[in-house]
Amino acid sequence: MTVNLCTDKCEKCNYQFGLADFIGQPIEFRQYGDYKPNMGTKLRCKCGKVYFGWIREDYQFWGSNTKDQFENDKINFGYGEIDRKNIHKGKFAKRVGNSVVELGYYQIDLAYYENYNNEGEGIDTDSPKYLITEDHELTRLYNA
């Protein structure tokens, strides 16, 4: 069991959730174990499945060893590896003068709503597992 499905698509009808699906939805926090809480929302698919969706983000995708190759058809990671096809050609970075600047990325991830993991049915409930309503002081920054 993990807390995520590692996808942004409905497992039943293959609908791909986007940013527009988050707009206007109430915020919820879900927390598994001692890990930091995830802020997300209930996402109802048109086919009836219900998910907890959240957005992950990072400021770096390519890293210092490959960012200069972001526009290439193939990428060489070094370390004696062969070149690999660049499936993200031209994404997550831009050229500014002679340098490459990372743009970062975001990723929508889903879990089944009722239990906040990857094993479930995607059903609605008034009391989902791991819903939190209090601060988690061990993982909160800027607390007074």
Quick: pLDDT tens for 29-54: 999 888 889 999 999 999 999 999 99
Query: Cα–Cα distance between 61 and 35 in angstroms, integer?
Result: 23
Rounded distance between C-alpha atoms, residue 70 and residue 100, angstroms: 9
Q: Are residues 37 and 78 in the same domain?
A: no
* DSSP 8-state secondary structure symbol assigned to residue 129: T
pLDDT at 144: 60
Non-local (6+) Cβ contacts of 105 within 8 A are 57, 58, 61, 91, 92
pLDDT per residue over 50-99, tens digit each?
999 999 999 999 999 899 999 999 999 887 778 999 999 999 999 999 99
74 and 127 inside one domain: no
Residues 48 and 113 placed together within one structural domain of the fold = yes
Is residue 52 within 8 Å of residue 116, measured between CB atoms?
A: yes
Which of 2-6, 14-18, 33-37, 132-136 is most confident? 14-18
pLDDT at 31: 93
Runs of H (alpha helix) within 6-115: none
Task: Quickly state the pLDDT bin for 143 (edges 50, 70, 90).
Answer: low
Q: What is the pLDDT of residue 77?
A: 86
- The residue-averaged pLDDT of 129-136 equals 90
Quick one: pLDDT at residue 134? Answer: 87
Local structure of residue 80 (DSSP, 8 states):
T
**Domains: count for the chain:** 2
Evaluate whether 73 touches 85 at the Cβ level (below 8 Å): yes
Domain that holds residue 72: 67-102
pTM over 0.75: yes
What one-letter code names the amino acid at 11?
E
Residues 49 and 3 in one domain: yes
Average pLDDT over all residues of the chain: 93
If we measure between CA atoms, which residue out of 97, 102, 103, 96 comes closest to residue 67?
A: 102
Residues 54 and 4 in one domain: yes
Strand partners, 111: 52
